[in-house]
A and B are shown apart, each in its own frame.
Chain A
């Protein structure tokens, strides 16, 4: 039997990791609700945001080691530019990839975002190579002791900032005009259009917002785990699983799904087998898909399923 300290430790690191999945899943839900697209390059935004922030704030070798960047700008500035870079790429993806193919099948649109994800991964590899990079933790200092488990300061940052991001996103959706317009066009695109809300613009904003959110997730987690060029795809898959766990269109569900996914994954990896960490995610996915979707959700959430092509 594992000790209670060990369990607490696994749960803590699960929540830290799960926060990131939650943020990425929120991005998925935002885009899906407004445009009906599943954006598989979501994880790539996290990678790009993190790499840009790392490059601007600390010493980094670029372009096969032929260039050294040692700008050492303050972290908030670097993070802001990292987010801006991801937002720009998100906007470009929407304008050049999604908008022109908006009448294509969902399958074609998924493939468009997968293509974009592969291309972005290649660009990251080109610029930063295969070396793992770690962002300096936001604040220095010894870790906290929580019921015998170690809680690093960065984990506190991760959890705290996730709460801040999620709450501000909900406030944005609830109280701002743009937020309301976004909700309107996801609830009823036709009626929203009649009220003068341009669905094209809403799609663009959704992509920009989600890209920025993912970039923030990537930057916040970069001091906890090393960032490598190939992490994007797996982050996308995890975010998508969290989104499905939450019921596909439900932002609150996506956040809860992300946290549960992080904890279950951490427990399974710690107690059963670390080599199969990612396999547990998909085992959960299969259970959720086959048990829940085939069963009791179908009646109640028929609309959501219909939009997913079910």
Chain B
């Protein structure tokens, strides 16, 4: 058997190796938890990147499905006695299903309207979670969510959670890459370039958009479930519009149409937020506002200067600069 060592494959091997080695190198639990968070946000960003970058559809309410997964997991496992692993699977499946059903009317809209409708969806979701106190715990949140346990093995330590989340993240990444490099991915890119042209070549644009939206919702649902099981506590503010916008920032940094960029975007935002909170803000005697200001400007600046994201856009700029230097 001949093994193909293309540069991409080597990069993947190094990446997976680094993920596996990280908990042995890093002993600090807080740092491990940060890496876990990056994994969760990567899952969310990958889904968003599929919807926005590949299908070219504005989705400014992605946190809805993140929250949906978290609340479904919480309700099923803490209130209804469903085993935690089944609750997690249900979170993924139900979020995808709900995403599909909500997508039917939403994807009749385009452009600005679509952006608005997805934002509205997020607002309504948070309001329901805040107001239905008997079911969701209201604004003060849902407590005592059991950790994931499979056959007596409980994922309760930072390292175990890290392994769990990154296993899920890698599975999501592999799945998304598979989709992108398949007929579906080509169809999505065709829709992005020109919907009319794609349709005239026999691509059912609406059906593809719906499916990819549902898929993104499913990824987000799993991430939400894992988040609930890792933190044991969820509240509506963890899933509001600002979180959706943060996810757009991550996708934008990574380049909207880039699966690998999603990891880069998620990591940049999580680490930058941590750096601002722990180092800068304290030094300046500030709290959360600095983070908001930096990310707001960052999002605007990236969209103005490098709409293709830091990775793709940066490479392009570099190439342009080099050809210009040669001339």
A contacts, CB < 8 Å to B: 38, 64, 96-97, 100-101, 104-123, 125-126, 233, 237, 240-241, 244, 273, 275-276, 278-279, 281-283, 285-286, 289-290, 293-294, 308-310
Contact = CB atoms under 8 A, between A and B. Distances in A.
Interface centre among B58, B115, B300 (most CB of A within 10 A): B300
Q: Which of B128, B242, B303 has the most CB of A within 10 A?
A: B303
B151 interface: no
A109 B117 CA distance: 17
B304 interface: yes
B276 to A, nearest CB: 11
Interface residues of B, number: 50
A110 B296 contact: no
B303 A118 contact: no
Given A110-B58, A115-B297, A125-B292, A279 B111 contact: no
| Residue of B248, B305, B307 with most partner-chain A CB within 10 A | B307
A279 B124 contact: yes
Interface of B: 52, 56, 58, 60, 105, 108-113, 115-117, 119-121, 123-124, 127-128, 130-131, 241-242, 245, 248-249, 252, 285-286, 288-305, 307
A120 B296 contact: yes
Contact of B290 (A38, A105, A126): A126
A244 B115 CA distance: 13
A116 B300 contact: yes
B296 A289 contact: no
The 9 closest A-B pairs by CB, nearest first: A309-B111, A119-B296, A115-B300, A115-B299, A122-B292, A118-B296, A122-B293, A282-B120, A275-B131
Contacts of B124: 279, 282-283
Contacts of A118: 242, 245, 292, 295-296, 299
Per DSSP, chain B at the interface is helix
Contacts of B305: 100
Contacts of A278: 123, 127
A115 to B, nearest CB: 3
Contacts of A113: 300
A101 B304 contact: yes
A97 B307 CA distance: 12
A164 to B, nearest CB: 30
Nearest to B252: A111
Contact of B248 (A114, A119, A281, A286): A114
A282 B106 CA distance: 13
Nearest to B295: A118
11 contacts: A38-B115, A96-B304, A101-B307, A106-B111, A112-B299, A112-B303, A115-B298, A122-B296, A126-B286, A279-B123, A308-B112
A114 B116 contact: no
A118 B245 CA distance: 9
A134 to B, nearest CB: 22
A108 B307 contact: yes
Contacts of A123: 289, 293
B296 A115 contact: yes
A118 B293 CA distance: 7
